[in-house]
Amino acid sequence: MKKQLYIFLILVVSSWTVTAQDLHFSMNDMNPLYLNPAQAGMNIHVRGSIQYREQWRSVTTPFTTGIFSYDMNTMKNSRGNAKLGVGVQVINDKAGDSKMGLTQGNLNLSAVLKLDEESKLSFGLMGGFGQRAIDYSSLRWESQYVNGAYNQNASTGENLSVNSTTYFDAGAGFVWSYGKDQGYITQNNGIKFNIGFSAFHFNLPNTTFMGGTDVKLDTKFVGFTNAEIGKENTNLTFIPSVYYLRQGKLQNLILGNTFRYLINEGSHFTGFVKSSAVSLGVNYRLKDAIIGNFNFEYANYTIGFSYDLTVSGLSIVNQSRGAFEVVFRYRTPNPFGKMSKARI
């Protein structure tokens, strides 16, 4: 009984932590719009992805999150040194037995400016509408226990007239990108890196279900840097990254490295043979989890998997089995093909 109560209390505390902050993902490089609206249409022509995350399955009804993203660049100016990036994103999340859910749609706009032949700067804005909802019928209340037995038809004794709320959300950010000697990815002779900063919920949206009580989302600040460093005349590329997120008193630091290995260089003449690569990476979310990831790239397509191994105190509850993610992405131009350094 004591063990069950202990586990219950940990889950309650964990649930409060989850609901007090935004959703987070382990494969951040696969989810650029969620990190920074300035990445809409940056370094690509067209990009689309579907990402799914599941956690807590080893303990209770799993928390599930799905996110769809699509972005592109368009409207190049007459001088050819600036473009408009446009992106849309749809997020759906359900949390455990209560089915406390979030559905949100965002529109992202960015201005991508070429500074010189090797660098560019992008500014972005995000606006969207979100809805949070809860299914009270799946919850159990103290007043529904009669003589120690649960009676689902008994009154909850609570005022549960409102089960959803809708709000407007806004964010902004910038990204600086640098690339040198970016020819064919198969030449593996270049280096590029990105530095970005963004802020979300700066309008402090109210997400409460209860009238007369404000429960506002704290502004979330995100900073990141990542790089791709090719080891010339080999098939190996190093992809280090650092991501920092802060929202209210909560903060997240994720750092690590991914190794990409070119399996096959495609045919540049017939096109019958497509280029492909595999990536293996290890990241560490400070005081929380070790994250392993695997990606397979084939021409314009990428499929990725990640798994979080819990190392915090919550490992007592979930036996170190954290979250699982899978993502599918399509992008143009083909990342294995020739890319101009000046392309924006």
**Closest by alpha carbon to 316, among 59, 30, 18?**
59
Asked if the structure places residue 292 within a domain, the reply is: yes
According to the model, what pLDDT value does residue 65 have? 93
Report how far Cα 82 is from the mean position of its chain's Cα atoms. 27
Residue 344 falls inside a structural domain: no
For 74-85, give one letter per residue: b (16+ CB within 10 A) or e.
Answer: eeeeeeeebbbb
Helix (H, G, I), strand (E, B) or coil at 2: helix
Evaluate whether 122 touches 110 at the Cβ level (below 8 Å): yes
| Alpha-carbon gap, residue 329 to 70, rounded angstroms | 10
DSSP 252-272: EEEEEEEEEEEEEPPPSSS--
What pLDDT, on the 0 to 100 scale, is given for residue 3?
Answer: 39
The overall longest dimension of the chain from CA atoms, in Å, is 79
Q: What is the pLDDT of residue 10?
A: 42
Q: Are 156 and 143 in contact (CB under 8 A)?
A: yes
Q: Which residues contact 314 (CB under 8 A, 6 or more apart)?
A: 10, 14
Backbone angles phi, psi at 339, to 5 degrees: -120, 130
Those residues whose C-beta lies under 8 Å from the C-beta of residue 285, and which sit 6 or more positions away, are 26, 252, 253, 254, 291, 308
**CB–CB of 71/47 below 8 Å?**
yes
166 touches 207 (CB < 8 A)? no
| Residue 308 contacts residue 289 (beta carbons within 8 Å) | yes
Residues of the chain where predicted confidence (pLDDT) is lower than 70:
1-21, 57-60, 78, 80, 97-98, 137-142, 154-162, 181-187, 210-212, 267-273, 313-321, 337-344
Q: Does 270 fall in a domain?
A: yes
Range of the domain at 180: 2-332
Residue 337 lies in a domain: no
**CA torsion, points 291, 297, 300, 301, in degrees to nearest 10?**
-60
Is residue 211 one of the residues assigned to a domain? yes
Q: Let me know if residue 339 belongs to a domain.
A: no
Query: What's the pTM?
Result: 0.83
The pLDDT assigned to 267 comes to 63
Domain count, the chain: 1
pLDDT for 157: 63
pLDDT value, residue 208: 79
CATH number at residue 227: 2.40.160.40
- pLDDT value of residue 134: 78
